Amino acid sequence: MDLDYVCAHAGRPAAALTRRDVARALLTVPSGVALVALPDLRRELLAAGNPLSPPFWESARTTLGSIESGAATVGDVQRWVESTGSEPILMTPSYFVWAEENERGPVTEEMFDLLVAYLEERMRSGEIDPDALATGDHRARRAYEELQERWLSTPLPDGRVPGFVVSDEQDEELHAAVGEEEALALSELHRIMGELDKQPDLPVADLARAGTRLRGLLDRPGYPANVLRACAGLEDRPLPDDDTELWLAVAAGIAGPLSDLPEEADLLEEFVDLDRELSDEDTVLANLFAIQYADWLAAVTALVRLGPGVLASPERIARLISESEDIDAYDEGPDDLGATEVLFGPVVSLWGHLGIVDEDGVLTPLGWWGLPKALERAWSPVD
């Protein structure tokens, strides 16, 4: 590793290299190689009229030595690169997070590069003191953070606000990824259901009884009615008149919650109290949102194949998922099975209110018919 390597990596001549350029190049080679190259690299930059500074070289030696000894964490290395004065902070104090370099979309990449250029300008003007950053000065770090926070929330000449457009792009990418996963799960559900020797029939009388019970339940305050209404998106609209429509909306909402609980003022105060115990609603919704598409697919298709009368306890469901051939096989230990069982505990409880399972946790004819239809509804695009 030499100066030519650093220049090629940064795409700049030696006289224009920044501390960030050098730091990033040093991290592309093994730490031992970088440590050996450090003295010669320093002399070459001095000869090129771009000596950088003693605090930078000392921070580089310390960080590379820590990496070589195995003592450095990823956070230590990231903070060192940020201390060069022109590396954007990966996560700001207000929790704005830059995606990893290989995961940035075109807008994020553009904004990141613009921020790097902005920080370089601030270094040249003396507003950023990289030596203070390199030596761990807390006030310099805080000023560096605040400078970036302001830039992220300040409109560019074209009117775009960097923080907003980056977040919008990340949201779009997340929604696209979720949509692809959802479409794949729906396709697999259709395939598996199409291969069944016998398709479940609608138990009309059972559905009518379940619809009557469900309407009575949803009219009550508190748990579980509030969770079921939120999952089905029924908080601010009347219940469907049709029993089938109501039942499927609620059953689908358990598999794919449409919303969280309303954020009322008193609830917001509770949420900032980190020492408080989670309510039943908090725990149930957290579990529902945490269940993966593959687990839903494996659980429901296994139950449908086995048919009415099969035990659908959380423990049995966890085992069925671990043994499923419908999803990528993976080894599960007792802890993994236990975690899956915990996630499906509230599911089975809510299923009981819909008549999907009976009081003994056994799959009913209504559950046999309705579970695959609920998944289909939850995973189908909204018109």
Local mean pLDDT, 10-residue blocks, the chain (383 residues): 93 95 96 94 95 95 94 93 94 89 91 96 94 94 94 95 92 80 89 88 94 93 90 87 94 83 43 52 85 92 93 94 75 71 93 95 95 93 66
Domain ranges, residue 145: 90-180
47 and 125 share a domain?
A: no
Q: Is 190 inside any structural domain?
A: no
CA angle, residues 151, 54, 46, in degrees to nearest 5: 100
Sign (positive or negative) of CA dihedral 230, 231, 233, 234: negative
Task: Say whether the peptide bond before residue 224 is cis (omega within 30 degrees of 0).
Answer: yes
Own/partner pairs, 33-42, CB within 8 angstroms, 24+ separation: 33/1, 34/1, 34/64, 35/61, 35/64, 35/65, 35/68, 37/1, 37/2, 38/64, 40/2, 41/1, 41/2, 41/3, 41/6
Neighbour tally for 330: CB within 10 Å: 8
Q: Do 269 and 165 share a domain, yes or no? A: no
Q: Can you tell me which residue has the tokens 């940035």?
A: 104
Residues 247, 372: one domain? yes
Q: How confident is the model at residue 278, as a pLDDT?
A: 59
Q: Give the pLDDT score at 319.
A: 92
Tally of structural domains, the chain: 3
On the CB side of 19, CA atoms within 13 Å amount to: 27
Given 84, 99, 122, the domain boundary residue is: 84
| Strand (E) or helix (H) holding 265 | helix 265-271
The type of residue at 64 is L
According to the model, what pLDDT value does residue 162 have?
95
pLDDT of residue 260: 57
Residue 188 within any structural domain of the chain? no
Of 56, 84, 112, which residue constitutes the final position of a domain? Answer: 84
Check if the beta carbon of residue 213 is closer than 8 Å to that of residue 353.
yes
* DSSP secondary structure, 78-97, as one string: HHHHHTTSSSPPSB-TT--B
- C-alpha torsion sign, points 264, 270, 273, 275: negative
pLDDT at 199: 85
Whether residue 360 sits in one domain with residue 216: yes
